[in-house]
A = this chain, B = another copy of it.
Amino acid sequence: MPRTPAGPELDRLISLLAKLPGLGPRSAKRAALHLLKKRDGLMAPLSLALKEAADKVTACSICGNWDSSDPCQICADEDRETGEICVVQEVADLWALERSGAFKGKYHVLGGVISPLDGVGADDLNIASLAQRASAGGITEIVLALSATVDGQTTAHYLVERLEGLTVDITRLSHGVPVGGELDYLDEGTLAAAMKSRHKA
């Protein structure tokens, strides 16, 4: 990408903005010009918000969720069921499940999945703390809400073995046709899974 004719400060800002997911080199330039136009209304507040979030947001010591309070709002929420733990890969997955409103228990964020190719082993993830929570008593169900990828499923298998022997139900999300999805566009694996777990209409 040719440099912009605008000095090192602006070049640096653009190259950092281009590292955000969803922004490329071109949209980063557009974003930088937009920011310069809204110096007081957006640029200065954004700089401050980045600094504040970097300083204050930490991983919850219980579940690994990101929040500016520790324990996080979800762990501290007394209205949620404490007997159910939903295990997710990343905080983004927790947010997605919260958007659905379908789960009212607590969460546990692994911080990734086991991936030998990327050099990520079980010890690199928040698995020991999950085993500790699961065996501390009072837990009746652990929902493994991991991605339906090879690494996600490997991790799920590992967790099932690791948590064996505890008097806890271990469940997984069901596979099937996405709501609103057209059959024609679905891959064979999903269709086969949906057919296998068909139920009475």
A-B contact list, 21 entries, CB within 8 Å? A2-B98, A6-B68, A6-B95, A7-B57, A7-B67, A9-B52, A9-B56, A9-B57, A10-B53, A12-B53, A13-B46, A13-B50, A17-B20, A19-B42, A22-B22, A22-B23, A23-B31, A32-B53, A33-B92, A35-B53, A47-B54
* Chain B residues positioned under 8 Å from A35 (CB to CB): 20, 50, 53-54
A194 to chain B, nearest CB (A): 26
* Complex: chain B residue closest to A39, CB-CB: B54
A47 touches B50 (CB 8 A): yes
* Chain B residues positioned under 8 Å from A99 (CB to CB): 2
Interface string of A166-194 (1 = CB under 8 A from B): 00000000000000000000000000000
A34 to chain B, nearest CB (A): 5
A30 touches B22 (CB 8 A): yes
Interface string of A72-105 (1 = CB under 8 A from B): 1110000000000000001110110011000000
* Chain B residues positioned under 8 Å from A54 (CB to CB): 35-36, 39, 43-44, 47
* Chain B residues positioned under 8 Å from A53 (CB to CB): 9-10, 12-13, 32, 35-36, 43
A95 touches B4 (CB 8 A): yes
- A21: Cβ under 8 A from any B Cβ: yes
* Complex: chain B residue closest to A30, CB-CB: B21
**Partner of A31 from B8, B21, B30, B56 at Cβ < 8 Å:** B21
* Complex: chain B residue closest to A68, CB-CB: B7
* Chain B residues positioned under 8 Å from A13 (CB to CB): 46, 49-50, 52-53
* Chain B residues positioned under 8 Å from A2 (CB to CB): 98-99
* Chain B residues positioned under 8 Å from A108 (CB to CB): none
A51 touches B57 (CB 8 A): no
* Complex: chain B residue closest to A28, CB-CB: B22
- A65: Cβ under 8 A from any B Cβ: yes
B92 touches A30 (CB 8 A): yes
